Amino acid sequence: MIMSAVPRGNVLALLIFFLASTCMTGCGRTVQNFIGGDMTEISPELTSIFNKTKMICFGRFVVKVPLNTVVVYGPAEVESSIEYRQGEAEKVGEYVLERMEEVEKEQKFFTKYSWPKLPLFGEVIDGVRTGQKMVIGSRDRVGYQILSIVPIEKDIFFQEVSSVLPEDDFIERINKVATALRSRNAEEIPADSGICIEGGYVTGEYEYERATVGLRLSEYPDVHISIDVHKNLEFLNNDSNPKVLHERAQAKAEAAGFGAVFSRRKILREQVRQIGHWTGQEMAFRTPAYKRAVSAHEFRFYSAGSVNDPFHPQLDIRLDSGVKDDTKGAIKPGISDDDALALWDMIVSTVRLREPTDATPVNKDKVPLATKIDGGKICPETGWWEITRADVMDSERRKFISAGDVMPSVPTSNGISIWRNLLLFQNRPKDPTIWKLVEYEKVDLES
């Protein structure tokens, strides 16, 4: 067998790593089948930590955490992957050039048969948002690789998708998301229906939706908690059930002769649990020390959710202790078994669908009428803006521009080709376009 060709120590290390990263379970104990069991008693230390709390928005959901919790957003998807870069709105040109250099290298692998299949390869096209650029390449010569760069206020959002067939409508879908995307500060919880991501918020519903968030407590720096919500498509992912993964890992351990070591785990809890409107499997145990890995906590809750329902997605929550430099079991945990369970219960029990009453108040003074902004700067107020210059056509003089968009530029015709203009993006003289706010956005009070 293949397993026998691997040294025994390596086999055990792999099995323990597999179990720690996927199953979070115990064996040899009857599962406690109940919904919403009693939570572990809370220590005075934990009580003090939770005296002041805050609500965190991720995806369409919220979780309540201690006030000093550091929130680390992970991968997010809204149709495509979407990534946030703070304070880089003026680097659109740099990122376009950087991606175009990669596209030029990809072109070397094209044949005469590749071009007809991918006619948009190498194009840089404007998106629906002011300042948005889409660079179209191909890393597999089968479909397009699309990078959309969206500047909003002072920040940038990257939308990226690969292996897009020419007949797919992904450019339209990317533009739909870009249109619905706005900036969001970390404390804001929106009132309308949509998806919270790092630095931003996307209104509407989409085929692909995913949000992940990590929680770090200053009082327990070696404890890492992660929450992952992922909308299902046409089927449910029951293979990620911790109980199923545990049974597979146990079978491999016993086949390799490490069943005794595997069984040394300290089981803290195993049950079916209700969290919000999710019913799923909860596993909590403490791994045994092995070689350089110390004994540490491994907790997991998993629910498969429902099919094609953005409000009932797959939910995966995990807690790991003894973490250092993103390595599990690297240091001795600074939290006891009872406090680890209590901390886990106090956080996971608050995970739920976001409601309108959760919304944080937004108090924003309007920018005064007649305010003037240079082209290329960030629009500070949604409304109608007019160019103050006289040498522009009437059709270009007045535009409705949303707050957070880049103010359009109306360059003079100087005969420079679009490609050379792109290459000289960073060295252009200051644009003479100046916009003046002339009318606020009208609000329909009856809607």
Least confident window among 39-43, 73-77, 235-239, 312-316:
39-43
- Top pLDDT among 241 and 190 is at 190
Instruction: Give, in order, the Cα–Cα distances in Å from 236 to each of 230, 281, 305.
Output: 11, 15, 7
What would the two tokens of residue 288 be? 């045994």
- State the angle between helix axes of 8-22 and 242-255 in degrees (0 to 180), rounded to the nearest 10: 170
Number of C-beta neighbours around residue 394 at 10 A = 6
Here the contacts of 50-58 (C-beta below 8 Å, separation 24 or greater) are 50/346, 54/187, 55/189, 55/358, 56/213, 56/215, 57/184, 57/188, 57/189, 57/190, 57/196, 57/354, 57/358, 58/196, 58/211, 58/212, 58/213, 58/227, 58/229
345-354 pLDDT, tens digit each: 999 999 999 9
Q: How confident is the model at residue 12 (pLDDT cuts 50, 70, 90)?
A: very low
The predicted structure's pLDDT at residue 33: 34
The mean-pLDDT minimum among 87-91, 94-98, 292-296 falls in 292-296
User: Which residue would you say has higher pLDDT here, 426 or 56?
Assistant: 56
Q: Would you give the distance in Å from CA 391 to the centre of its chain? A: 44
Ordered alpha helix ranges (H), 151-286: 170-180, 242-255, 259-262
Q: How far apart are CA 433 and CA 374, in angstroms?
A: 6
Rounded mean pLDDT of 14-28?
40
Give the model's pLDDT for residue 333. 95
Least confident residue range of 92-96, 157-161, 378-382: 378-382
Residue 228 confidence (pLDDT): 97
Range with the poorest average pLDDT among 92-96, 350-354, 361-365, 440-444: 361-365
Bridge partners, 427 (sequence order): none
What are the E-state strand segments in 127-208?
A: 133-137, 144-152, 155-164, 181-183, 194-197, 200-203
Q: Domains, the chain, ranges and CATH?
A: 26-72+210-358 (3.40.1000.10), 80-202 (no CATH), 372-440 (no CATH)
Mean pLDDT over residues 279-304, rounded? Answer: 91
pTM of the model: 0.76
Better-scored residue on pLDDT, 69 or 1: 69
* Structure confidence at residue 20 (pLDDT): 44
Give the mean pLDDT of 188-202: 94
Lowest mean pLDDT of 20-24, 72-76, 345-349, 371-375, name the range: 20-24
The pLDDT assigned to 420 comes to 42
211 vs 396, higher pLDDT: 211
More confident residue, 24 or 343: 343
Q: How confident is the model at residue 447 (pLDDT cuts 50, 70, 90)?
A: very low
**Across residues 156-173, what is the average pLDDT?**
92
Range in 50-59, 60-69, 405-414 with the lowest mean pLDDT = 405-414
For the purposes of burial, counting CB atoms within 10 Å of the CB of 188, is it exposed (0-12), middle (13-18) or buried (19 or more)?
middle
Query: Quick check: 329 pLDDT over 50?
Result: yes
Q: Which of 1-10, 238-247, 417-426 tops mean pLDDT?
A: 238-247
| pLDDT higher than 70, residue 34 | no
* pLDDT for 97: 96
Residue 11's H or E segment, with its range, is helix 8-22
pLDDT at 178: 95
Residue 419: pLDDT band with limits 50, 70, 90: very low
- Judge whether 209 and 197 are in contact, CB under 8 Å: no
Per the prediction, the chain carries an average pLDDT of 83
Does residue 26 carry a pLDDT above 70?
A: no
**Residue 421: CB atoms within 10 Å:** 12
Per-residue confidence (pLDDT) for residue 413, from 0 to 100: 43
Instruction: State residue 50's pLDDT score.
Output: 92
Please tell me the predicted confidence (pLDDT) of residue 40: 67
Going by pLDDT thresholds of 50, 70 and 90, the confidence category of residue 337 is: very high
pLDDT higher than threshold 50 for residue 416: no
Confidence of residue 302 (pLDDT cuts 50, 70, 90): very high
